[in-house]
Amino acid sequence: MLQPAGFPETRASLLAKLGDNSLGQSAWRQFFDCYAPAVYRVARARGFTGPDADDVVQQVMMSMVSHLGDFEYDRDRGRFRNWVRTVAENKIREVRRRKKLPQVDIDPNNEPTADNIWEEQWRLQDLLWCLDQVGQEISPKRLAIFKLYSIDGLPPAEVAKQMNTSVGYVYVTRHLVLNLIRKKAKALDDPSS
């Protein structure tokens, strides 16, 4: 669930595509790949097992399918993610009630708030999308180096040894990929998207 398969170029354009039934499954696949991983991770953070979190995702997506045909996006009314969150929170409560799962309270002293959980998951989803996009622009070797060093946390010397390169190349690759990710992330914050 953590690997995005392609964030839409613009959220508004994707929403418009969803209302066009002639486009078939591709727009829905894009929508699912964009929003389902964050919903899944939030459900897990709220105490659901993997299968129960999958059930929440399925319920959220089914609700979206039934409502998006009539949906008109208006950025002035708020972010689309807020609507996804509202639907997801409602489905989390419904699934918890239907399956008689215990309520997991979020203790502000020990746990992040629901707002913080959602914001963290949206940021992670954006980051994963940015990395996926950057991965299409750089060599597989550079992507592997970046993941080993920056994500897996291996020491630069170990990465260099595994990838048959120099430690300097590991540092340069990390710098290059982070800059590309920052550019992609900045584009996501563009209000026209």
Domain CATH code at residue 160: 1.10.10
Same domain as 44, residue 71: yes
Percent pLDDT > 70 in the chain is 73
pLDDT in tens, 41-69: 888 888 888 898 899 999 998 888 787 76
175 is a domain residue: yes
Question: Does residue 144 share a domain with residue 72?
Answer: no
Q: What is the model's pLDDT at position 158?
A: 94
Query: Which residues lie closer than 8 Å to 139 by C-beta, 6 or more apart?
Result: none
Residue 129 falls within a domain, yes or no? no
Of 70, 92, 124, the one marking the end of a domain is 124
Whether 132 maps to a domain, the answer reads no
Please tell me whether residues 7 and 85 are part of one structural domain: yes
Are both 98 and 73 inside the same structural domain? Answer: yes
- Please give the residue that has the higher pLDDT: either 25 or 150: 150
For 123-145, give the DSSP string. Answer: HHHHHHHHHHHHHTTS-HHHHHH
Do 24 and 63 belong together in one domain? yes
Task: Give the count of domains, the chain.
Answer: 2
DSSP, res 74: -
Clarify whether residues 117 and 146 are in a common domain: no
Same domain, yes or no, for 38 and 100?
A: yes
| Residues 118, 47 share a domain | yes
Whether residue 117 is found in the same domain as residue 161 = no
Number of H helices, E strands in the chain: 8, 0
Do 3 and 85 lie in one domain? The reply is: yes
- Whether the model clears a pTM of 0.95, i.e. scores above it, the answer is no
Domain identity same for 33 and 97: yes
Q: Does residue 45 lie within any of the structural domains?
A: yes
148 falls within a domain? yes
Q: How far apart are CA 170 and CA 178, in angstroms?
A: 12
pLDDT in tens, 126-178: 888 888 889 999 999 999 999 899 888 889 999 999 999 999 999 999 999 99
SS3 64: helix
Between the alpha carbon of residue 30 and those of residues 51, 56, 187, the distances in Å are 22, 18, 18
- Helices (DSSP H) in 46-110: which residue ranges? 50-68, 80-98
Query: In terms of domains, do 70 and 23 share one?
Result: yes
What is the rounded CA–CA span in Å between residue 87 and residue 180?
A: 33
- Flag whether 192 is in a domain: yes
Point out the domain boundary residue: 124, 154, 180: 124
**At how many degrees (to 10) do helices 25-45 and 114-135 cross?**
130
Question: What range does the domain containing 72 cover?
Answer: 1-124
CB 60 within 8 A of CB 81: no
